Chains A and B, each alone.
Chain A
Amino acid sequence: RKEVEQDPGPFNVPEGATVAFNCTYSNSASQSFFWYRQDCRKEPKLLMSVYSSGNEDGRFTAQLNRASQYISLLIRDSKLSDSATYLCVVNADEKLTFGTGTRLTIIP
Chain B
Amino acid sequence: AQKVTQVQTEISVVEKEDVTLDCVYETRDTTYYLFWYKQPPSGELVFLIRRNSFDEQNEISGRYSWNFQKSTSSFNFTITASQVVDSAVYFCALSEAGEYGNKLVFGAGTILRVKS
A, B: real partners: no
Binding site for A on B (CB under 8 A): none
Binding site for B on A (CB under 8 A): none
